[in-house]
Structure 1
Amino acid sequence: MSQSQSPTAPAAPDLRIVEQRVYRGPNIWNYEQAIHLVVDLGVLEQYPSNLLPGFTEQLLEWLPGLQNHVCSRGKPGGFVERLHEGTWVGHISEHLALQLQGEAGHDLRRGKTRAVRGKPGQYNVIYSYLDERVGLAAGELAVRLVNAAVAQDSEFDFPSEMDDFLRLAQRTAFGPSTNAILEEAVARDIPFIRLNNASLVQLGQGVHQQRIRATMTSKTSALAVDIAGDKSLTNTLLSSAGLPVPLSDTIRTEDGAVQVANRIGYPVVVKPLDGNHGRGVGINLRNEAEVRAHFPIAAEQSRRGVMVVESFISGNDYRCLIVGGRMQAIAERVPAHVVGDGTHTINELVEITNADPRRGVGHEKVLTRIAITEGTEALVRNQGFEMDGVPPEGTMVKLALTGNMSTGGISVDRTFDAHPENIEIAEEAARLIGLDVAGIDFICPDISAPVRETGGAICEVNAAPGFRMHTHPTVGEPQYIAKPVVDLLFPPGTAARVPIVAVSGTNGKTTTSRMIAHIMKGLGKQVGMTSTDGIVIDERLVKRADASGPKSARMVLQNPRVDFAVMEVARGGILREGLGYDRNDVAVVTNVSADHLGLRGIDTVEQLAAVKRVIVEAVPRNGFAVLNADDPNVRDMRRSCSGSIVYFSMQPPGSPERDFIETRLRRGGRAVVLEPTERGEMIVIRHGRRSMQLAWTHLLPSTFGGAARFNIANAMAAAGAAFACDVPLHDIRQGLRTFTTSYYLSPGRLNMLDVKGVSVVVDYCHNPAGMRAIGEFVDNLAEQKEAAIDNARISRIGVIGGTGDRRDDDLAELGAVAAKHFDVLVVREDDNPRGRPRGESAEHVVRGINECIEAGEARVRKIDTVLPEVDAVRHAMVLSNPGDLLVACVDKHARVLAELEDLSNSAYAGSRADEERVGDPDLDPAELGVAAGASGEESRSDYTDLEAAEAEAGERV
């Protein structure tokens, strides 16, 4: 339908934002950081743009830049074509958000809009951003623009809305100096992290990091800054070195200023000792009256009440920028002024000058607007004019005495005009003060002539000098002075990044991360690691939390000790914020199975694999992805990797998976495989035609003699990651041989301890795939134990529980799998039921167990339900006899280990006073805030009487 045939547009358009999310790194929608809005079109779902009269014309009137959007047509104007042909307002809001950011100076092009599955009228709107506050504000304003344009709302004040948005962008944006340094850093592939809402920025990662605040750097001496801030001391030091400086002295009173001025001779300059940006500076004061008149102005700008009176040097104002002791740029600073045209008043000329789009408030733009003050009006009168008077054509009227850019001055580039002697003087001044980045202010008739001959002097040395007069001169060529600053912080060839290994998958990612960290620690690396248990820096737990998200990753990269990072990356963090960094050198994906389905729109294993794939997509061309070739969903991720692939497989030679790998090896690929031999299975690293034996699986402590097959897979994944990081073979071997599943190396993951003769294993297993792996481990370990005691049968007791936010059938499947491997099952629940009523998750687990029993596939003979985790473990211990195998799959492993430690050192639970316990203080329940039996939950069990339970257990054995 053409626009001429369109019906009347809806009177009350109701496009609204349902949800908004900020991705701070690569994510499922974009390789870069992005804003994600879920919008509901409401009634506008029935109205594409070609059915909205005047809609397109209104948008183009407000934002003419939309005409340059290429959209899917691949040419400028493509988006406007789509508007005329008809496109939905969700897609339109994406382009509006990008264009609004463009109006604020953020050049962004990437965006996409996709319908939300199963929710008609709702759309995912994704677009890039530079500053998240500006990006979110752009999305919100885009929605208001759409609704106003559809309704043709005459009361909608677009100029006011746009001004508010631009002011927000200006408040949050980096200043010109900081931005120049960051642009140079990005061009050299140096990552940065903004550390506050102002200009404090970290360049580089971990041990390689440097910091800047505007143009002050990590290498800027605090002592040098103090000296430069003391103008009297600065003059004394420069004068003692024979450099030209004006005569000066410091005073605190108005009478003292007059006395000094009389002594050194008029004209003089009066300024605050600790001032900056030219505030409070009075120049060319020719008599006592002028000194007294200006003194209060200078005093108002002084923090300590100390003023400097110095001889006035006539000439032009030049700023010399010195970086690392070398002159990099020189700008002539011309004070704020207007030039008469014979028609306009001075006030009108100021307004015309301020209308220049390059002028803004403060330092937000390359030029600053001229402000009219009482001092300005007095200066104009001294020149024989009034603010409402019309100066003759061609007459220059000064509006400020100093040439500072912050008072509205302009700059003229003079970098290549300076005399070598003047350059030498400026460089020597910066070295004497000790500043790595210094602004040396010269006053002299001409910078191209030696100041010692023409009569000039250094009037000031500035720490943290502004760059905009050099990068954006009003007249002349811009100087790219950010490069020497970045060279100062990161000399050519210096590393700015730490290697990052990202590990993801459904099961095994925590153990794999710990194995990799352990291997790298053996090389002397100071490893920063994130995991579901917390943040570990150089083997020290610095934060106990689920730290598998992007915020934790940034914490590691901000730590100045870290020179190698291992990041466990969970599904939730990717969906919530993306990755916490721009790329990872190695990505490891252990497996993908049905877990967390039904959450955040992830309903299938294939969709879950797409989430895990983000870390593979974040691998650069010189990086590696370590992929499980035995898992089809993981194996297919190879197509999304820009770098090389290292496969690992536990399948025997001749299997389809091994044939797949062999084909890649013939092309020079890399893999970690298992080779069966008469002495057992050998982990072998393959690279093309090379074959390197690594270790026997049964000799690795983490595999429990080969019983823990899943830890064999984890060890192979860790070996592949270490091999991709060019770790020598013997160091990989040594790392795997010394890695154990003790609580101190791998807390909460297959920790085994002996409690009163019962072999207790504590693990985090919480999904069906993990339970299958644990079940296989239990079968293998039980066989080993039974063989060691002449095939006497031992009981297998399991403490299991599902997570409340899993689907009902997933919880039932967990119970059904466990029923096939354990003789006795005690069903528990996490402290956090995650939205379910207490006991509901356990009921679904029990349902699965009973369904397995009814199908005749179960091994289990006894089922108890004890909801509190610690009570469930205590109950399982009561049901156990010496020699039995108890596997406790728990959520709060520290609390459970504390209870087991207490049990192992007590005649019976609670028999000793706290002061008599001899357990490990690191596992002290009191220190963990947990007391035995203090979980606050009721136990539901057929055995609430401990004596009866103990008697029953004895009879069973």
Structure 2
Amino acid sequence: MSQRPTADLAILETRVYRGPNIWSYDRAIHLVVDLGTLEQFPSNTVPGFTDTLLQLLPGLREHSCSRGRRGGFVERLNEGTWLGHVAEHCALALQQVVGHDVRRGKTRSVKGQPGQYHVVYAFIDEQVGLAAGRLAVRLVNHLVEADPEFDWEHELESFILRAERTAFGPSTQAILDEAGSRDIPWIRLNQHSLVQLGQGVHAKRIRATMTSATSAIAVDIASDKDLTTRLLGAAGLPVPKQESVRTGDQAVRVAERIGYPVVLKPLDGNHGRGVCLDLQDAEEVRAAFPVARDQSRRGVVVVESFVTGKDYRCLIIDGRVAAIAERVPASVTGDGTSTVEQLVDTANADPRRGVGHEKVLTRIRVDDAAVALVREQGFEMTDVPAEGTMVKLALTGNMSTGGISIDRTFEAHPENVEIAEEAARMIGLDIAGIDFICPDITEPVRETGGAICEVNAAPGFRMHTHPTIGEPQFIAKPVVDMLFPPGTASRIPIVAVTGTNGKTTTARMISHIFKGMGRKVGMTSTDGVVIDERLVIRSDASGPRSARMVLQNPRVDFAVFEVARGGILREGLGYERNDVAVVLNVQPDHLGLRGIDTVEQLADVKGVLVEAVPRDGHAVLNADDPLVREMRRRCSGEVVWFSMEEPGSEAREMIDAHCRRGGKALVLEPSDRGEMIVVRHGRREMQLAWTHLLPATFAGRARMNVQNTLAAAAAAFAAGAPLHDIRQGLRSFSTNYYLSPGRLNEVDVNGVNVIVDYCHNAPGMKMLGDFVDRVGDSLESSHDLARPSRIGIIATAGDRRDEDMRELGHVAAQHFDVVIVREDVALRGRQRGETAGLVIEGVRAAMADGSRCKQVEQVLDEIDAVRHGLTRSNAGDLVVVCVDKHAAVMGELETWSNQAQAGATANPETPAADPDYAARTPVVS
């Protein structure tokens, strides 16, 4: 063991899970860290480590850790815990310092890598969470071995400022908290305050306190103070006299006409900036004019009569007063011993005061205007005011300039409430801040001489949600009520499909069923993003980002997501939960990537979808797959089984018991007339369709599509689709290129039967091979010299294991007479020809064992391989093309067909005749 610890803790890898994932039901940050020599030094062996850590981050004393009680983590520190675990808790504590309520975390060792650990912890803001993890690691290293360049106070302050830059303001956060309490999902659309509430067709947007229902014209009117006053005056509402001017001389003439004292303010300013009050003569007006003009975007200044009284803000939401606050300008009160400057410092030391909107109060800022105002009151900043003397530091009562607020919601006179509501209606704002100046809000302003001095669009909520004096008002509730009235939906149904094989076809079937019901379906798959039957993005869109794109689209009222293993491992799911999760199968594919080395681990990854099913949701599971069967234990909702097994099998016996308890399942019932898909619900049995009458099953020969049909029908049934709509959807869904591109597309090329499919792995090849055997046995030769040949053009992705590539070739050799091996455009880390060589090794090994295959060839380019396969085929032969770029292949096949019909020789340079093939050419990702 090393005698002295060194600062070796390092981050090897960082991942951000933006939805449910293999580590957590919610969002999380995942760090892979290496302790180095610190693996030999738990926390209790590093002198002074625990005491110093708790001094720097006292919030760690509240962490319960695995002990389940306050102080549990401190006990672990004293007993000795590894420093990766310490970094996890530090990352949580740092986020708690900036007000983020995060508590979940875990640290686990990396299998087979001594000294390396998975550190997983929750986050609210992604950038803050990542910064917390980095700072936590630096802090731990510093406590192990002091770094002279590491200044904790400076680092912590920088971290807090970063959190403030990305944090929502108090108004936005109040609305989001209320939405969260009602289970309304939200998505942040930028790095500021633009947020989407709800999903798809139910989505609403907010930016601070402006909503998607806020009138742009109303905002423009409210920004023009002169126009606002004229409109309110025309409605008979109390407003001060005012005019707009552009020069100091004009301001003086208007002030003399209105009568002193007057107020100068920018025409289109905000937050009280540039407002000059109680100007008594022409000299003061001339001096104030440039101050107001500098804050006006258009250089126009408003001169209005000075109304004396207190400053009140009336908040109007959806036409009704929601809260009223009295705003008191920033000031200090003398104690007889402290200077004005010291009194300001004391006030700013209040823990409720912070920078900007960080806390409920803003720090008082002493600028030139504040010093001048103090001087007007007969004091300098170094003077000591008498005890009880109030010294103003700002003229306006805005919270952003250090003012305080007093709640007056239930004290306002009814007539004043009516005036405020009428003012909001006149301007047309759904959320408005009406500023009153009057002696007392409890008395009618028409009698006391008060007036409306301003109408504000996007008013801040902080003075109402966190008043300095009085009870807070829960004003986010009427905002959310306005956007989502009680009983209004905010979520769209989500069906998520995963599995090793069959995901895309099953997702397309489900989408097709609901499109037939009139739903506007958003679907993601390996082909791209489809919105209401329109392919809007061509790429592999089976990840979480594509899912979020669908949920943001305002046309979508039903979502179907193909969810791949890679997206779950990379980012988690792109949403909180799915109403229906479909798991088709789990086969050994893509093992050895991202720490997934066994098929059981792969099943855990795909089981994330099942864990994301709510209590009122459904998990559609394949009863024939033992690994999928085990996922039933991870489902909070109801399980719907599907099975292709015959009655009496283990799977069917389990389904029988499930249905006796009132459960749901879809099964195949064999008979002399064929196989019938039967829906079982409790003791009821309902016939759905004959498998051989469904186009996608090729008269029942495509067993993989029989399974996909069962899964799609079960998912639609679980999602509430009537049986007749499910039946109609399955009867009208076929594997033609336009409904299911690249999945069992059948093309006749000069009498040659060509099947185009996406098969890329050994389990899929077994199912495709079964289909080839069933179809091939029915083919009739066009000549008497030999039986029809079966030619397979195959390939696999370069990121699979060597043994998986060999197995693909071995399986293909069992079903084809000739195997042509090609490669994808994206080699995924392999050398050109390396992947094909491994597949060919598998084919040759099978040939040596007496397989069907008699010849194997290598043609690396996809189109060249297709041309080669067609060249060596005869009428009546079966050619199966396992594609990468299916659009290009289909175009090439049509070219051959068209040229043959025209009596011409195939020319590789001739473009495809069908423009849709070219239009569907995918983008290489």
TM bucket, shorter chain: over 0.9
Q: How does 1:370-381 map to 2 (within 5 A)?
A: 370-381=364-375
**What amino acid sits opposite 1:890 in the alignment?**
V
**What amino acid sits opposite 1:609 in the alignment?**
A
Whether the 8 Å contact between 1:786 and 1:792 is mirrored in structure 2 is: no
Whether the 8 Å contact between 1:9 and 1:51 is mirrored in structure 2 is: no
Matched with 1:487 is 481
1:153 shift after superposition = 4.5
Matched with 1:36 is 30
Cα distance in 2 for partners of 1:540, 1:90 equals 48
**What amino acid sits opposite 1:294 in the alignment?**
A
* 1:536 aligns with one of 521, 527, 530: 530
1:923 shift after superposition = 1.6
Cα distance in 2 for partners of 1:205, 1:900 equals 41
Residue deviations 1:143-184 (CA, integer Å, cap 9, x gap): 011011112456531111100000000111000000000000
Q: How does 1:566-605 map to 2 (within 5 A)?
A: 566-605=560-599
1:357 shift after superposition = 2.4
**What amino acid sits opposite 1:497 in the alignment?**
R
Residue deviations 1:63-108 (CA, integer Å, cap 9, x gap): 1111110001111001000000000000000000000000010011
1:678 shift after superposition = 1.0
1:360 shift after superposition = 2.1
Is residue 131 of structure 2 the alignment partner of residue 143 of structure 1? no
Query: Compared with structure 1, are the counterparts of its residues 447 and 86 closer, same or farther at alpha carbon in structure 2 (3 Å cutoff)?
Result: same
Is residue 70 of structure 2 the alignment partner of residue 57 of structure 1? no
If the length of structure 2 is used for normalisation, what is the TM-score?
0.98
Whether the 8 Å contact between 2:789 and 2:878 is mirrored in structure 1 is: yes
Query: Compared with structure 1, are the counterparts of its residues 110 and 33 closer, same or farther at alpha carbon in structure 2 (3 Å cutoff)?
Result: same
Query: Compared with structure 1, are the counterparts of its residues 661 and 531 closer, same or farther at alpha carbon in structure 2 (3 Å cutoff)?
Result: same
Whether the 8 Å contact between 2:895 and 2:910 is mirrored in structure 1 is: no
Q: How does 1:166-177 map to 2 (within 5 A)?
A: 166-177=160-171
Cα distance in 2 for partners of 1:915, 1:67 equals 73
Equivalent residue of 2:273, what SS?
Answer: coil
Matched with 1:87 is 81
Q: How does 1:248-647 map to 2 (within 5 A)?
A: 248-647=242-641
Matched with 1:886 is 879
**What amino acid sits opposite 1:866 in the alignment?**
V
**What amino acid sits opposite 1:750 in the alignment?**
L
Matched with 1:822 is 816
Cα distance in 1 for partners of 2:782, 2:96 equals 73
| Contiguous gaps of at least 5 residues in structure 2 | none
Cα distance in 1 for partners of 2:708, 2:3 equals 63
Query: Compared with structure 1, are the counterparts of its residues 927 and 690 closer, same or farther at alpha carbon in structure 2 (3 Å cutoff)?
Result: closer
**What amino acid sits opposite 1:368 in the alignment?**
T
**What amino acid sits opposite 2:852 in the alignment?**
R
Whether the 8 Å contact between 1:22 and 1:34 is mirrored in structure 2 is: yes
Cα distance in 2 for partners of 1:187, 1:705 equals 51
Cα distance in 2 for partners of 1:895, 1:272 equals 63
Matched with 1:124 is 118
Matched with 1:104 is 98
Equivalent residue of 1:905, what SS?
Answer: helix
Query: Compared with structure 1, are the counterparts of its residues 412 and 541 closer, same or farther at alpha carbon in structure 2 (3 Å cutoff)?
Result: same
Whether the 8 Å contact between 2:17 and 2:571 is mirrored in structure 1 is: yes
**What amino acid sits opposite 2:24 in the alignment?**
N
Matched with 1:899 is 892
Residue deviations 1:544-566 (CA, integer Å, cap 9, x gap): 00000010000000111000000
Whether the 8 Å contact between 1:590 and 1:628 is mirrored in structure 2 is: yes
**What amino acid sits opposite 2:856 in the alignment?**
I
1:850 shift after superposition = 1.2
Q: How does 1:102-251 map to 2 (within 5 A)?
A: 102-153=96-147, 156-251=150-245
Equivalent residue of 1:129, what SS?
Answer: coil
Residue deviations 1:565-611 (CA, integer Å, cap 9, x gap): 00000000000000000100000000000100010110110000000
* 1:805 aligns with one of 799, 803, 812: 799
Residue deviations 1:337-365 (CA, integer Å, cap 9, x gap): 01111122111111221122222222232
* 1:693 aligns with one of 687, 692, 705: 687
Whether the 8 Å contact between 1:905 and 1:917 is mirrored in structure 2 is: no
Matched with 1:663 is 657
Residue deviations 1:163-214 (CA, integer Å, cap 9, x gap): 0000000111000000000000000001111000000000000110000000
Whether the 8 Å contact between 2:538 and 2:923 is mirrored in structure 1 is: no
Cα distance in 2 for partners of 1:563, 1:658 equals 35
Cα distance in 1 for partners of 2:794, 2:906 equals 29
Whether the 8 Å contact between 1:9 and 1:150 is mirrored in structure 2 is: no
Is residue 857 of structure 2 the alignment partner of residue 864 of structure 1? yes
**What amino acid sits opposite 1:311 in the alignment?**
S
1:535 shift after superposition = 0.3
Query: Compared with structure 1, are the counterparts of its residues 281 and 910 closer, same or farther at alpha carbon in structure 2 (3 Å cutoff)?
Result: farther
Query: Compared with structure 1, are the counterparts of its residues 833 and 848 closer, same or farther at alpha carbon in structure 2 (3 Å cutoff)?
Result: same
**What amino acid sits opposite 1:347 in the alignment?**
E
Cα distance in 1 for partners of 2:179, 2:145 equals 46
Whether the 8 Å contact between 1:589 and 1:612 is mirrored in structure 2 is: yes
Equivalent residue of 2:296, what SS?
Answer: coil
Cα distance in 2 for partners of 1:587, 1:927 equals 30
Cα distance in 2 for partners of 1:812, 1:156 equals 54
Cα distance in 2 for partners of 1:503, 1:631 equals 16
Query: Compared with structure 1, are the counterparts of its residues 25 and 927 closer, same or farther at alpha carbon in structure 2 (3 Å cutoff)?
Result: closer
Equivalent residue of 1:377, what SS?
Answer: helix
Cα distance in 1 for partners of 2:382, 2:343 equals 10
Query: Compared with structure 1, are the counterparts of its residues 455 and 897 closer, same or farther at alpha carbon in structure 2 (3 Å cutoff)?
Result: same
Cα distance in 2 for partners of 1:610, 1:929 equals 31
Matched with 1:796 is 790
Matched with 1:944 is none
| Contiguous gaps of at least 5 residues in structure 1 | 1-5, 931-957
Equivalent residue of 1:535, what SS?
Answer: strand
**What amino acid sits opposite 2:873 in the alignment?**
S
Query: Compared with structure 1, are the counterparts of its residues 651 and 136 closer, same or farther at alpha carbon in structure 2 (3 Å cutoff)?
Result: same
Equivalent residue of 2:597, what SS?
Answer: coil
**What amino acid sits opposite 2:55 in the alignment?**
E
Matched with 1:731 is 725
Cα distance in 1 for partners of 2:272, 2:131 equals 35
Cα distance in 2 for partners of 1:924, 1:729 equals 37
Whether the 8 Å contact between 1:902 and 1:909 is mirrored in structure 2 is: no
Residue deviations 1:889-940 (CA, integer Å, cap 9, x gap): 111111111111111111499957899867201223997799xxxxxxxxxx
Residue deviations 1:792-851 (CA, integer Å, cap 9, x gap): 832111101121111111111101111111111111111111111111111111111111
Whether the 8 Å contact between 1:471 and 1:478 is mirrored in structure 2 is: yes
Equivalent residue of 1:372, what SS?
Answer: coil
Q: Comparing 316-325 with 151-160, which one deviates more in the overlay?
A: 151-160
**What amino acid sits opposite 2:530 in the alignment?**
V
Whether the 8 Å contact between 2:887 and 2:918 is mirrored in structure 1 is: no
Cα distance in 1 for partners of 2:673, 2:782 equals 19
**What amino acid sits opposite 2:853 in the alignment?**
V
Cα distance in 1 for partners of 2:135, 2:325 equals 40
